Amino acid sequence: MNIHEHESKELLKAYGISVPPGHTVFTVEQAMRAAETLGSPVVVVKAQIHAGGRGKAGGVKIAGSLEEVRAYAEELLGKTLVTHQTGPEGTIVRRLLIEDGCSIAKEYYLGLVVDRSSRRVVMIGSEEGGMDIEEVAASRPERIHKETIDPAIGIQTFQARRLAYAINIPGEKLGEAVKLMQALYKAFIDYDCSIAEINPLVITGEGALMALDAKLNIDENALFRQPDITLLHDPNEEDPLETEAAEYGLSYISLDGSIGCMVNGAGLAMATMDMIKLHGGEPANFLDVGGGASADKVAAAFKIILSDPRVKGILVNIFGGIMRCDVIASGVVEAARQVGLSHPLVVRLEGTNAKSGRQILADSGIGIISSDSMEDSVREIVSLVQ
């Protein structure tokens, strides 16, 4: 789960990490008042959306006067920002962070991630602050420095010091940088983060060490023990269909194609999408109905798929293991009746009670096309949609 920059900064501030003074605003008037309160000659107006790449997309503006603050706030609020992370449809800006502008003497990158290979949290530092770190890792890997952290004892001072030296933090700031790294690690653990990034970490013209940007990503599996984080959930930042699907316990991701998919299991769902593409179609979504799909869940899945106007046909692919195909078939028939079947529907059932499931589909008399192989069902739906 992503949270906003201003929220990440608030959390990190509580751990003693310095951030520029700033206020979160939702209207132009609030933006003006915030800039006045800050009273600094230069103010940064930052669009608050979850996606990265805001700077390049024009979502971060430097204002030298109140008039400029007004102009930028008017421009950004309500604007659809398209960054390399939002996809072509972009995200609407609904809130801004109005921040004290500071002069930058030096920029660094500092981040924590879960490293699968070592099964550890790894701290990453680089002198190439403010850059896309993935790009740095690809083109100048020697500029990336890492410290692997033992979960039993946490990040040790020598490790933080070694990293600070590696990225050339000036001697007089070294102690402070070590404390900051340890604070970031503590926040990462306390909030069950999967990513924590300060990019850039800066030394200002006045010599202060400060997090100019901050991004925390929280492990969704840990939300049960993170009630404060759960409150920060911003539905505006998500596809409304994805949010609705989550309420039914469905895993749904919207895509650009015309063939709606409903599959049990994440791996099989991805495989089904791949096969649609392979046969010349385009999947409209990823949808995993999970292991114990009831008729209600199937009906909800249908409604979600059909509320995407791009959908021109639906493919249901179920490999019933624990889940019985006859139960699924009844759910599909019931849902199709409830929702009204206006598009071609191909259903592939295999596994437990597949025969009786197919019989239920055949007997329904509502034009469901039944298939027993994954390949045939994909061919069928692709040709029907074209």
Partner 1 sequence: MSILVDASTKVITQGITGATGFFHTRGALEYGTRIVGGVTPGKGGSDIRFTLEDGGVKRVPVFNTVGEAKSETGATVSVIYVPPTFAADSIMEAVDAEMELVICITEGIPVLDMIKVSRYMEGRCTRLIGPNCPGVITPGECKIGIMPGYIHMPGHVGVVSRSGTLTYEAVHQLTARGIGQSTAVGIGGDPVKGLEFIDVLKLFNDDPDTLAVVMIGEIGGTAEEEAAEWIRSHMTKPVVGCISGLTAPPGKRMGHAGAIISGGTGMAADKIAWLEACGIRIAPSPAEIGRTLARMLEEHGIMDSCTDKMSIYRA
From the candidates 5, 7, 128, 197, give the one annotated as an active-site residue.
197
Q: Which residues pair with 283 in a beta bridge?
A: 259
- Site for partner 1 contains 213 (CB under 8 A): no
> 237 and 91 in contact (C-beta within 8 Å)?
yes
- Site for partner 1 contains 227 (CB under 8 A): no
Give 56-62's long-range contacts (Cβ < 8 A, gap of 24+).
56/83, 56/84, 57/81, 57/82, 57/83, 59/83, 59/93, 62/101
Binding-site member from 5, 147, 350, 380 for partner 1 (CB under 8 A) = 350
Closest approach of Cβ 93 to partner 1, in Å?
Answer: 19
Binding-site member from 39, 88, 103, 117 for partner 1 (CB under 8 A) = 117
- Site for partner 1 contains 351 (CB under 8 A): yes
> Do strands 209-211 and 193-204 pair parallel, antiparallel, or not at all (unpaired)?
antiparallel
CA distance 323 to 39: 63
- Site for partner 1 contains 89 (CB under 8 A): no
Candidates 40-48, 67-75, 140-148, 261-269: pick the segment binding partner 1 (CB under 8 A): 261-269
Question: Number of residues in contact with partner 1, rule: CB under 8 A?
Answer: 61
3-state SS assignment for residue 190: helix
Closest approach of Cβ 271 to partner 1, in Å?
Answer: 4
- Site for partner 1 contains 371 (CB under 8 A): no
> 190 and 182 in contact (C-beta within 8 Å)?
no
Give 64-68's long-range contacts (Cβ < 8 A, gap of 24+).
66/32, 66/35, 66/36
Residues in the chain: 386
> 229 and 3 in contact (C-beta within 8 Å)?
yes
Closest approach of Cβ 254 to partner 1, in Å?
Answer: 9
- Site for partner 1 contains 139 (CB under 8 A): no
Closest approach of Cβ 194 to partner 1, in Å?
Answer: 6
Q: What are the helix (H) ranges across the chain? A: 5-13, 28-38, 66-76, 133-139, 157-166, 174-190, 227-230, 240-247, 266-278, 295-306, 325-339, 354-363, 374-385
Closest approach of Cβ 347 to partner 1, in Å?
Answer: 15
109 is catalytic: yes
> 56 and 83 in contact (C-beta within 8 Å)?
yes
Q: Which residues, 266 to 325, sit near partner 1 by CB under 8 A? A: 266-278, 283, 286, 288, 291, 319-322
Candidates 90-98, 257-265, 300-308, 330-338: pick the segment binding partner 1 (CB under 8 A): 257-265
Binding-site member from 78, 103, 116, 227 for partner 1 (CB under 8 A) = 116
Residues 6 or more apart from 365 whose CB is under 8 A from it?
none
Binding-site member from 32, 104, 253, 339 for partner 1 (CB under 8 A) = 253
Nearer to partner 1, 162 or 277 (CB): 277
Binding-site member from 88, 225, 227, 340 for partner 1 (CB under 8 A) = 225
Give ∠ CA 205-137-61 in degrees, rounded to 5.
Answer: 40
- Site for partner 1 contains 222 (CB under 8 A): yes
> 176 and 209 in contact (C-beta within 8 Å)?
yes
197 is catalytic: yes
Binding site for partner 1 (CB under 8 A): 85, 87, 114, 116-117, 119-121, 133-134, 137-138, 150-152, 189, 192, 194, 219-222, 224-225, 251, 253, 255, 263-278, 283, 286, 288, 291, 319-322, 350-352, 354-355, 372-375, 378
Q: Which residues are catalytic?
A: 109, 197
